[in-house]
Structure 1
Amino acid sequence: MIDETPADASLDRAFMALADPVRRAIIATLSRGPATVNELAEPFDISKQAVSKHIQVLEHAGLVTRSRDAQRRPVHLDAAALERLTAWIDGYRLIHEQQFRRLDTVLASLTNTTES
């Protein structure tokens, strides 16, 4: 069994939250600025309660926060949380890019020796 760190659990929650297309669409909308539940629910053919549940999942994953502005309770994207996900993905992308570069070098040297 693999021991899971708090950071791993946080990543798991974030990626599970982003696995749903409605939640990804909510994140995309929030990337343009804060919005209320009513505003977020507008493009979907689901109830406001369903959208609220999706927002709760995103909150639990640490991807969004809510604030109170008089009667409004806007939802905000936590850009730092997305940056952490991007950094995690980029770490693996860089490893694989290095491996492809090494493979390109080997293939180029093979091509040069067969052309000689």
Structure 2
Amino acid sequence: MTNKDYSRRKFINRCISSGGLFFGGLLLLNCGEKNKSSKIRNDNTKQNSSKDPCNDLTKISDGEIKKRQGLGYVKQSAVPENSCSNCALFIPAKADEKCGGCILFKGPVYAEGHCVQWAAISS
């Protein structure tokens, strides 16, 4: 019991250090996977953008795309009477464009779309 090489303080410091290394490694591995998935998503949107201008997200930042996803935006509303075209936040398409927009996020929006922030147009 006189040997102080195995103190409680050293043991706790080693446990905390080992745990920090473990979770730091997990964090690095997880960040690498996100970069791969965003690259795949960007490749898919580039392919789809040539077919449908309302699906073209090539000029939209990742932050704006995440905002769209966070608001639950979908291309086709499950409730026909609650679509982007009759939402107070919808920006109608210009005469030379096929897609509208939204006040909440950037990028093209389908008139038939929907998100969780749908608001009725006040009379």
For Structure 1 versus Structure 2, the TM-score category normalised by the shorter chain is under 0.3
Greater per-residue helix proportion? 1
TM-score using structure 2 length: 0.26
Question: Which structure is larger by alpha-carbon Rg, 1 or 2?
Answer: 2
